């Protein structure tokens, strides 16, 4: 009897091992019926200026999200040279394919052209108000201005991101180029646009915020 009991325990143990091997693996994050559509509404930094398509921000972000167990399609809504006014003008078109969440990365070209921060603020506010009204979770990617533009301009420009994120119930990522700006080895020859390694650095840094953004998406949407 003892031998038969030992054999029975062995069979049960083998069954448990096999069951564990073929059980589905739980991945982090919400469970969605369909892939989540994440729109990146931005300028050349989002578009992947000067890079092969595979090295652009949206592609690298989608790959990083997949590695984190997230079923997400990252839509490239970046247009090189775009300002906040341009982003506002094409917002409806960018949303036409549907978006469950949005990253807004705009303002750098307003600053580079010396456009009045009040104008940039009004267009960015309009974009965020529209997304807020539609209940689309949004992450605002901020930008910094060089000090040679003067303290008044710098203060007005940089403050619009936290101010508007708070006003329109959006998340804030303070500086899109954090850790990349001013680092020659992470930028292309123009010193303004990240190279492949620079984009990888941006993706690694912003990923926790993007995961937090995606956690706000309604699985039933």
List, by residue number, the catalytic residues: 44, 190, 193
Q: Which of 159, 161, 200, 201 is nearest to 178 (CA)?
A: 201
d(CA 61, CA 63): 5
Q: Is the CB of residue 96 less than 8 Å from the CB of residue 37?
A: no
CA-based nearest residue to 135, from 111, 186, 176, 101: 101
β-pairing verdict for 138-141 and 101-105 = parallel
Distance of CA 43 to the CA centre of its chain: 13
Distance CA 213, CA 140 (A): 10
- Residue pair 209/175 in contact by the 8 Å Cβ criterion: no
β-pair type (171-173, 101-105): unpaired
Nearest 5°: the CA angle 66, 54, 190 is 125
Beta bridge partners of 147: none
């Amino acid at each position: 009897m003892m031998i038969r009991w030992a054999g029975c325990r062995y069979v049960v143990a083998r069954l448990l091992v096999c069951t564990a091997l073929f059980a589905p693996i739980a991945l982090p994050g919400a469970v969605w019926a369909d892939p989540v559509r994440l729109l990146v509404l931005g300028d050349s930094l989002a578009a992947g200026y000067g890079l092969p398509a595979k090295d652009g921000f949206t592609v690298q972000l989608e790959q990083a999200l997949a590695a984190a167990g997230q079923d997400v399609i990252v839509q490239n809504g970046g247009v090189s040279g775009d300002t906040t006014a341009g982003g506002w003008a094409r917002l409806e078109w960018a949303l036409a394919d549907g978006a469950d969440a949005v990253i807004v990365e705009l303002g750098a070209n307003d600053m580079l052209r010396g456009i009045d921060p009040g104008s940039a603020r009004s267009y960015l506010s309009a974009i965020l108000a529209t997304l807020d009204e539609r209940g689309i979770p949004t992450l605002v990617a901020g930008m910094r201005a060089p000090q040679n533009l003067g303290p008044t301009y710098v203060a007005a420009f940089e403050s619009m991101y936290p101010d508007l994120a708070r006003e329109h119930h959006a998340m804030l990522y303070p500086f899109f180029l954090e850790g990349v700006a001013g680092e020659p080895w992470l930028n292309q020859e123009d010193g303004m646009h990240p190279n492949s390694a620079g984009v990888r650095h941006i993706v690694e840094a912003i990923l926790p915020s993007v995961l937090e953004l995606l956690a706000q998406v309604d699985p039933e949407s």
